[in-house]
Amino acid sequence: MKKIISLGLAALILTACSSAEPSSSQRQVDKEKVTSEQAATYNEKKKTEASAETPTTETPENERAETEMPTTEATVTEDADKVRKHKDQSEESATEKESSSETVEPASLEADNSKVQSSRYAEISKKQLSAYFSTMPTAFNHRDLNPLRPYVQTDSEAEQYLRNKLPAGQFDNYEIESFSIDQVKIDKSKSHVTATRIMTSAATDGQWKKVVTVYDMVYSPTKNTMLIYDFNDKVIYDFDKALENALRAVKEKYAVHDEKEAGSKVSFVKADPAVEEDAGGVYYRFKSTDSAQNVIHSYKYYQKNGQIVVE
């Protein structure tokens, strides 16, 4: 009986052991499973380590500096060459400019000198002729040529004419109401000046005349001035001094008013006919016109009392 129990107990123990311990096939499966999981874990670990150990594509600072240094030096060298080249070109251009400014063509220099000289001759001619007109009445009325000698060239046609006419008294009672220098033309060392005088003398029978004369002058190096060597009257107009005075009076009184009304500069001229008569007496007729010759106003100036009537 004990033997049977023992056998039964042994069978139970064996059964329990069999159930407790996996079979060899099960152990093989479990082993393969463990091995696969370990392999996966191992591979994942290796990947992580490989990723951590793999160098990045970014170049380290020291290596990048060594790599880029030649390019930087080349660029700096090239820029320096450009700067030197530009500087050399600038210096060359400046040198050429200085050279060109220093080198003046003789023809250009002569032209500039000629312009300056012509301008100087023109100014001297105007001053000399103005002084001559101011001196004429005294010299003519005293029949004395000496006051005019500073303005007239010795032994010229002008001097010969004056020397012949003055003693005869043809220019007695000489007066100049006004004069103007109208034009100056320069021909090398000579000038041709057109001037207008409002004058009267014994030669005009006491009548006022408007005389346009061309005076020929030449530069005198010894006296450093322009001298008259000839003159010719170009045209002589009758001059009504009373009428001119009346016109001047109208202009002085109404010029500002008419220019404001016209919106531009106006001219005062004689009307046609210039002299008429009505119940108030004899009067002069004038008119003011704008630049387009449009009449702004007409005026009557009565000779008897100087009354002005605006029309």
Q: What is the CATH number of the domain that holds 151?
A: 3.10.450.540
294 in a structural domain: yes
What pLDDT does residue 74 have?
Answer: 47
230 and 137 together in one domain: yes
Residue where a domain stops, chosen among 238, 261, 277: 238
Task: Mark whether 297 and 202 lie in a shared domain.
Answer: no
* Pair (230, 250) in one structural domain: no
Task: Verify that 218 and 276 share a domain, yes or no.
Answer: no
Provide the pLDDT confidence category of residue 301 given band limits of 50, 70 and 90: very high
pLDDT, residue 108, reads 64
Q: Residue 111 above 90 pLDDT?
A: no
Looking at every residue in the chain, the average pLDDT score rounds to: 78
Condensed to tens digits (0 to 9), the pLDDT of residues 213-253 reads 999 999 999 999 999 999 999 999 988 888 889 999 999 99
Indicate if 176 and 271 belong to the same structural domain.
no
Residue 224 lies in a domain: yes
Residue 225: which domain range? 114-238
Q: Are residues 139 and 233 in the same domain?
A: yes
Q: Are residues 143 and 171 in the same domain?
A: yes
Work out the average pLDDT over 64-81. Answer: 48
CA distance 208 to 240: 7
Strand 308-310 relative to strand 267-278, pairing: unpaired
Is 149 part of a structural domain of the chain?
yes
Nearest alpha-carbon partner for 235 in 192, 179, 196: 196
| Residue 121 domain flag | yes
| Same domain flag for 119 and 214 | yes
- 19 belongs to a structural domain: no
Claim to verify: residue 228 and residue 265 sit in the same structural domain: no
| CA–CA distance, 282 with 160 (Å, rounded to integer) | 46
**Same domain (yes/no): 130, 167:** yes
Percent of the chain with pLDDT over 90: 52
* Type and span of the H or E element at 214: strand 209-220
Q: Do 259 and 303 reside in the same domain of the chain?
A: yes
According to the model, what pLDDT value does residue 71 have? 46
Residue-wise pLDDT for 52-63, tens only, equals 444 444 444 444
Confidence of residue 127 (pLDDT cuts 50, 70, 90): very high
pLDDT at 105 > cutoff 50 = yes
User: 166 and 135 in contact (C-beta within 8 Å)?
Assistant: no
In a domain, 28, yes or no: no
Boundary (domain end) residue, out of 238, 253, 282:
238
Query: Which residue, of 238, 263, 295, is where some domain finishes?
Result: 238
Asked if the structure places residue 44 within a domain, the reply is: no
pLDDT of 100 > 90? The answer is no
How many domains does one find in the chain?
A: 2
- What confidence score (pLDDT) does residue 96 get? 53
- Alpha-carbon gap, residue 20 to 10, rounded angstroms: 15
Q: Are residues 192 and 133 in contact, defined by beta-carbon separation less than 8 angstroms?
A: no
Would you state the pLDDT for residue 289? 93
Instruction: Grade residue 115 by pLDDT with cuts at 50, 70 and 90.
Output: confident
Q: Which pLDDT score, from 0 to 100, does residue 272 have?
A: 86
Q: In what order do the strands lie in the sheet with 209-220?
A: 175-187, 190-200, 209-220, 225-238
Tell me if 178 is assigned to some domain: yes
